Amino acid sequence: MWPRGSLFIVLILPALLASDAQTGGKTLALRYEAPSGFRRGIGNPQTWIPDSLDGVIHVYPFRPFHGDLADEFQRTLFRGWISASYREDSPFDQPTFRSLNVKGAKAAVAASFKNLNGGALREHLRVAVLASERVALVDISANSPHAFDRHRPGFSRLLDSLHVVENDPPAARIPR
């Protein structure tokens, strides 16, 4: 019979110590200033909603990614990573792409596009942020081009403040 806690050391501790070589065991997070004129929603991804309820910002956490960010983003817009109820269903036009500077990121790309969703024209801006072979997304949409323009200051505040931080993993506690 093994001493109490030994099973944890044999089975769990190696997994905790097998840290990602790219981040040195640290986790990545996308930080930003709260968008003015928006309130924090509940759940994951992080959600921000204006009082007028005619737009939404979703901030998706970092996920592993291996490949060419610009190529993958231009081909797929990472649609599969977006919550189903906010995923574009019928593109109205071709996206326009541009690079962004995000502190702590290896690269960041933004796509602007319009989408017909249930017959209504929605304006979108999606940002993919690459750091340490992981990608985080910011997905911004508004119920109309007019609503998008009205909320632009809040969107801009969030986007201008984006930065990547590394967090140390919580210390592993070994039971005695």
Q: pLDDT for 133-142, tens place per residue? A: 999 999 999 9
Q: 0.85 cut: is pTM over it?
A: no
Evaluate whether residue 78 is within a structural domain.
yes
Evaluate whether residue 44 is within a structural domain.
yes
State how far the Cα of 114 lies from the Cα of 112, in Å rounded to an integer: 7
pLDDT for residue 2 is more than 60:
no
Evaluate whether residue 7 is within a structural domain.
no
Total Cβ atoms within 10 A of residue 36: 13
Evaluate whether residue 151 is within a structural domain.
yes
Evaluate whether residue 71 is within a structural domain.
yes
State how far the Cα of 96 lies from the Cα of 111, in Å rounded to an integer: 5
Domain CATH for 54: 3.40.1000.10
Evaluate whether residue 13 is within a structural domain.
no
pLDDT for residue 158 is more than 50:
yes
Number of domains in the chain: 1
26 token code pair: 């640290």
Residue 170: predicted pLDDT: 59
Residue 147: predicted pLDDT: 96
Evaluate whether residue 174 is within a structural domain.
no
Evaluate whether residue 175 is within a structural domain.
no
Half-sphere exposure for 59 (CA within 13 Å, toward CB):
20
Domain that holds residue 142: 22-167
State how far the Cα of 141 lies from the Cα of 55, in Å rounded to an integer: 6
pLDDT for residue 173 is more than 80:
no
State how far the Cα of 135 lies from the Cα of 131, in Å rounded to an integer: 6
pLDDT for residue 99 is more than 90:
yes
